[in-house]
Amino acid sequence: MEIQTILKRLRIDAGITQKQLSKDLSIGQATISQWESGVSKPTADALTALSKYYGVSTDFILGISHDREGDGQLDADVEECIALIDNLTNYQRRLVKELLKQIKPFD
Protein backbone atom coordinates (compact mmCIF):
# COMPACT_ATOMS: atom_id res chain seq x y z
CA MET A 1 0.00 0.00 0.00
CA GLU A 2 1.30 3.48 -0.83
CA ILE A 3 1.99 6.10 1.80
CA GLN A 4 -0.80 8.42 0.64
CA THR A 5 -3.36 5.63 1.03
CA ILE A 6 -2.02 4.72 4.47
CA LEU A 7 -2.11 8.34 5.66
CA LYS A 8 -5.68 8.85 4.47
CA ARG A 9 -6.83 5.56 5.98
CA LEU A 10 -5.22 6.38 9.35
CA ARG A 11 -6.94 9.76 9.42
CA ILE A 12 -10.34 8.38 8.45
CA ASP A 13 -10.01 5.47 10.93
CA ALA A 14 -9.25 8.07 13.63
CA GLY A 15 -12.47 9.85 12.68
CA ILE A 16 -10.84 13.21 12.06
CA THR A 17 -10.79 15.69 9.21
CA GLN A 18 -7.73 17.09 7.48
CA LYS A 19 -8.57 20.37 9.19
CA GLN A 20 -8.47 18.76 12.64
CA LEU A 21 -5.20 16.92 11.89
CA SER A 22 -3.76 20.17 10.60
CA LYS A 23 -4.67 21.93 13.84
CA ASP A 24 -3.44 19.09 16.08
CA LEU A 25 -0.04 18.84 14.38
CA SER A 26 0.37 22.53 13.46
CA ILE A 27 0.78 21.58 9.81
CA GLY A 28 -1.02 23.31 6.96
CA GLN A 29 -4.16 21.59 5.72
CA ALA A 30 -2.90 21.98 2.14
CA THR A 31 0.23 20.02 3.10
CA ILE A 32 -1.86 17.18 4.52
CA SER A 33 -3.98 17.19 1.37
CA GLN A 34 -0.82 16.96 -0.75
CA TRP A 35 0.41 13.99 1.30
CA GLU A 36 -2.90 12.18 0.95
CA SER A 37 -3.09 12.80 -2.79
CA GLY A 38 0.53 11.73 -3.40
CA VAL A 39 1.65 15.18 -4.58
CA SER A 40 4.29 15.29 -1.84
CA LYS A 41 5.54 13.13 1.01
CA PRO A 42 6.02 13.97 4.69
CA THR A 43 9.47 14.92 5.94
CA ALA A 44 11.24 12.79 8.56
CA ASP A 45 10.02 15.14 11.30
CA ALA A 46 6.45 14.97 10.01
CA LEU A 47 6.63 11.15 9.83
CA THR A 48 7.70 11.05 13.46
CA ALA A 49 4.86 13.39 14.46
CA LEU A 50 2.32 11.34 12.50
CA SER A 51 3.64 8.13 14.04
CA LYS A 52 3.21 9.47 17.56
CA TYR A 53 -0.18 11.00 16.78
CA TYR A 54 -1.67 7.80 15.36
CA GLY A 55 0.23 5.42 17.65
CA VAL A 56 1.74 3.45 14.78
CA SER A 57 5.30 2.82 13.67
CA THR A 58 6.90 4.96 11.01
CA ASP A 59 7.59 1.74 9.11
CA PHE A 60 3.83 1.14 9.03
CA ILE A 61 3.18 4.63 7.63
CA LEU A 62 5.88 4.11 4.99
CA GLY A 63 4.37 0.76 4.01
CA ILE A 64 7.54 -1.09 5.02
CA SER A 65 5.85 -3.07 7.78
CA HIS A 66 2.34 -4.35 8.39
CA ASP A 67 3.02 -4.07 12.13
CA ARG A 68 0.98 -1.06 13.30
CA GLU A 69 2.71 -1.00 16.63
CA GLY A 70 6.37 -0.49 16.87
CA ASP A 71 8.72 1.80 18.60
CA GLY A 72 7.65 4.66 16.33
CA GLN A 73 11.24 5.18 15.29
CA LEU A 74 13.04 4.77 12.02
CA ASP A 75 16.29 2.92 12.11
CA ALA A 76 19.32 5.21 11.80
CA ASP A 77 20.10 4.30 8.16
CA VAL A 78 16.56 4.99 6.97
CA GLU A 79 16.39 8.24 8.92
CA GLU A 80 19.71 9.36 7.39
CA CYS A 81 18.44 8.56 3.89
CA ILE A 82 15.24 10.51 4.46
CA ALA A 83 17.21 13.48 5.75
CA LEU A 84 19.42 13.40 2.66
CA ILE A 85 16.42 13.14 0.35
CA ASP A 86 14.72 16.06 2.12
CA ASN A 87 17.55 18.29 0.88
CA LEU A 88 17.25 17.28 -2.79
CA THR A 89 15.40 19.07 -5.55
CA ASN A 90 12.28 17.41 -6.98
CA TYR A 91 14.29 16.41 -10.05
CA GLN A 92 16.99 14.80 -7.90
CA ARG A 93 14.32 12.98 -5.87
CA ARG A 94 12.85 11.52 -9.06
CA LEU A 95 16.31 10.32 -10.10
CA VAL A 96 16.89 8.67 -6.71
CA LYS A 97 13.45 7.07 -6.86
CA GLU A 98 14.14 5.61 -10.32
CA LEU A 99 17.53 4.34 -9.15
CA LEU A 100 15.98 2.66 -6.11
CA LYS A 101 13.39 0.97 -8.32
CA GLN A 102 16.25 -0.62 -10.28
CA ILE A 103 17.90 -2.13 -7.20
CA LYS A 104 16.78 -5.67 -6.59
CA PRO A 105 16.68 -6.84 -2.97
CA PHE A 106 18.88 -9.75 -1.98
CA ASP A 107 17.00 -13.03 -1.56
Spatial separation of the C-alpha atoms in residues 34 and 53, rounded to whole Å: 19
pTM of the model: 0.62
Per residue in 26-79, pLDDT tens? 999 999 999 999 999 999 999 999 999 998 988 889 888 766 665 545 567 777
Please determine, for residue 101, whether its predicted confidence score (pLDDT) is greater than 90. no
Q: How confident is the model at residue 83 (pLDDT cuts 50, 70, 90)?
A: confident
Radius of gyration of the chain (CA): 14
Q: How confident is the model at residue 106 (pLDDT cuts 50, 70, 90)?
A: low
Q: What is the pLDDT of residue 71?
A: 53
CB 14 within 8 A of CB 54: yes
Q: What is the DSSP letter of 32?
A: H
